[in-house]
Copies of this chain bind each other. A is one copy, B any other.
């Protein structure tokens, strides 16, 4: 009955978040969905759509398997949801490739953004790799519209730079593929890089150096900043 006791009673469990109407239920739903999505991203990134199992996703998410199906009707629905998330993040990085400034600054910014994305979200990159290796069954529409439109518009920008004599006469698609490949390699082939690095993940310093090397080789390679 002392203030202390009353205080401790309503403290940790009950009084944490009385907040708005239905706040607790909503919070439960959000937390569970996030946990399942995070687990699914890892498992799909490791095994691809077909190789992944809902049982393993449930285990990694630390929920019963039936609960996974309570929040996401089917394995495919869960997969599509994660693919959308990955694409959203990809588009964010793509936006750093504007055409308002000096080519070297633009390319540097884009390469660095993609390298940082590989570092921060390797699972998304690996999931994308699975999807494309398999033949882009789920995402061919997205690639042939959204991604292709974005890429083609950047190709036009690069051709403009070439026409203005700002950089070497390089096929822009070859350049963009090289940037895609190299930046994503640090996520997709991270396990191999780690082995080559004496079984140690790349340190922050090592990764920063790698990023700078990639930028320098590509910029100089196309005749920018030379």
Contact = CB atoms under 8 A, between A and B. Distances in A.
Interface of A: 45-51, 126, 129-130, 132-136, 140, 143-144, 148, 151, 168, 170-171, 173-175, 177-178, 180-182, 184-186, 188-189, 191-193, 195-197, 199, 209-210, 213-214, 216-223
Given A134-B191, A136-B195, A216-B221, 8 more contacts: A46-B133, A46-B135, A47-B48, A129-B133, A130-B133, A136-B191, A175-B217, A182-B182
User: How many chain copies does the complex carry?
Assistant: 2
Contacts of A45: 133
A175 B213 contact: yes
Contact of A196 (B151, B184, B196): B151
Contacts of A129: 129, 133, 188-189
Contacts of A175: 213, 217
B185 A180 contact: yes
A193 B209 CA distance: 29
Nearest to A134: B46
A212 to B, nearest CB: 9
A150 to B, nearest CB: 11
A53 to B, nearest CB: 9
A148 B195 contact: yes
18 contacts: A48-B51, A48-B130, A50-B51, A130-B133, A134-B191, A135-B191, A143-B196, A168-B220, A171-B213, A173-B197, A175-B213, A177-B186, A177-B189, A177-B193, A178-B185, A181-B184, A216-B221, A220-B223
Contacts of A136: 191-192, 195
A129 B151 CA distance: 24
Most buried by B among A140, A173, A222: A173
